[in-house]
Each structure stands twice: as C-alpha cells, then as structure tokens.
C-alpha cells in the first residue's frame, strides 16, 4: 500500500515537497534524505501538522494544515470526493474514518489550534 511521504524537518522548514519553497529556503540536502522521510496516511499527516503547528507557535505546519490537509480530509471523508489517483485512494482506504468521526476530529483540530 502507498502512503503520503512527509519530511520530518517540516517543523524547521515550510513545504519541503515543493520546488519553489525549497529554492526559496535553501535547506541542506540532508533534510530530504531517506532517514528524514515518514510514510503516513492522510489522518496521520493531518495530526503531525497539528503538532508541528502547535509546537512551532504557528511558524511551521499551519499553511499545509489550513490550506491542504483540513480541506482534503473534509473532501474525502465528509463530501466523499476521493480522487481517482491510485496512491491517494490507497491513503484514503488506509485511514478510513466515518463522517461523524471526521467531523469530531476537525472540530478538535480547530479547538486545539485556538
């Protein structure tokens, strides 16, 4: 099964999977080596970004959380708008939650971040 790949150092740099962010921040190459990669499903990724956001006082993690992860979670699990891409469908299947569970999770995320 395929998972989302995230970089452990996302608590030190913003959006390390996009070239324009990498070019702008110029992180050392060691940040993206295999020992700094984590494979997770969407819900795990969401929770990691919550922790990164909280621990960094919103310096890191929040943009991905607010713009991408919360919206994607709502689309997949509440609106049933799962992409036809195989790797994303695998992530969805791996972390499947019921609608009421996702609503509670999203409410907890909002409460936690306030």
pTM of the model: 0.78
Question: According to the model, what pLDDT value does residue 2 have?
Answer: 44
Question: According to the model, what pLDDT value does residue 5 have?
Answer: 58
CA distances from 70 to 12, 80, 101, 109 (A): 21, 14, 14, 9
CA distances from 95 to 58, 67, 111 (A): 26, 20, 22
For the purposes of burial, counting CB atoms within 10 Å of the CB of 82, is it exposed (0-12), middle (13-18) or buried (19 or more)?
Answer: middle
| Per-residue pLDDT tens over the stretch 24-43 | 988 888 887 888 777 788 89
Higher-confidence residue of 17 and 110: namely 110
> 37 has which bridge partners?
7
């Amino acid at each position: 099964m395929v998972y989302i790949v995230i970089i452990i150092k996302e608590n030190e740099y913003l959006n390390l999977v996009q070239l324009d962010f990498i070019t702008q921040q110029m992180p050392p190459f060691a940040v993206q080596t295999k020992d700094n990669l984590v494979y997770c499903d969407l819900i795990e990724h969401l929770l990691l970004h919550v922790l990164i956001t909280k621990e960094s006082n919103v310096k890191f993690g929040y943009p991905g959380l607010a713009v991408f992860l919360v919206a994607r979670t709502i689309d997949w699990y509440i609106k049933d708008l799962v992409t036809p891409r195989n790797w994303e469908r695998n992530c969805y299947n791996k972390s499947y939650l019921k609608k009421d569970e996702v609503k509670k999770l999203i409410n907890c995320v909002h409460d936690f971040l306030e």
